[in-house]
Structure 1
């Protein structure tokens, strides 16, 4: 393994989630690659979302919790520029081998990645209340 691959794998740590012989390739990729990267990059995702609401949704802090949760989902699913920036934060921490796996089924893996990211930000929505 080259130096970059070793560094990335050491930085991300172990797989998160249960892997079995019956796990699909996508599920293995999700638990071995995506989950550790999402955990590692959590603060950056939160800062990115904070920047997004500052630039695009200034009334965010006055919304009800339900509307805030809807906005998180809508921003990540519908705002292509924001979505692509988030994907870049994840993909930049792939090894070359992982990237080759990713491009074989990027559509499905992108869905998994964005769904996990939506849930991650939603579960921390209370952190954005401090801005009021």
Structure 2
């Protein structure tokens, strides 16, 4: 019952049917829809991270960075702050069905790597929303 409810919540995303690997199929059929569903929460988590580290607010260092510096900061944060990265990954994994969890575990390191890259790209592509909201 939980699995059916989770699947019903996800937005439909069309993807190229010429996927070559199980990891790519999982990325397109599971990770992308979950990231889209959780987008506002993921941005809110990153915004909170910035505020907590005094990067947003009265002395908004993040807002004063160039676009390239902001992207580098986002990439560095997600790659190196393991506690925060695990929070973001857990936000996505919490939306998995039982079967998706089993698939994820079968290729955990590759799928975690892909998920980290997707999280980074998603937040980088919306960096303006981090400052304005």
Q: Same fold (TM over 0.5)?
A: yes
Q: Which stretches in structure 2 are left out of the alignment for 5+ residues?
A: 56-60
2:23 to 11, 22, 26: 26
**Structure-1 residue corresponding to 2:44:** 47
What is the number of residues matched between the two proteins? 128
**Structure-1 residue corresponding to 2:131:** 129
**Structure-1 residue corresponding to 2:80:** 78
Aligned: 1:66 with 2:68: yes
How much does 1:127 deviate? 1.4
How much does 1:17 deviate? 1.7
**Aligned equivalents of 1:16 and 1:121: distance in 2?**
21
**Aligned equivalents of 2:47 and 2:130: distance in 1?**
8
How much does 1:16 deviate? 3.9
**Aligned equivalents of 2:108 and 2:49: distance in 1?**
25
**Aligned equivalents of 2:120 and 2:131: distance in 1?**
17
**Structure-1 residue corresponding to 2:35:** 38
Aligned: 1:13 with 2:15: no
Please tell me whether the aligned partners of residues 46 and 130 of structure 2 are also in contact (alpha carbons under 8 angstroms). Answer: no
Q: Deviations over 1:26-72 (max 9, x none)?
A: 01100110000000000001000000111124221222221111000
Instruction: Give the alignment's Cα RMSD to 1 decimal.
Output: 1.4
How much does 1:118 deviate? 0.7
Please tell me whether the aligned partners of residues 16 and 35 of structure 1 are also in contact (alpha carbons under 8 angstroms). Answer: no
**Aligned equivalents of 2:83 and 2:115: distance in 1?**
16
How much does 1:129 deviate? 3.2
> What's the secondary structure of 2:20's corresponding residue?
coil
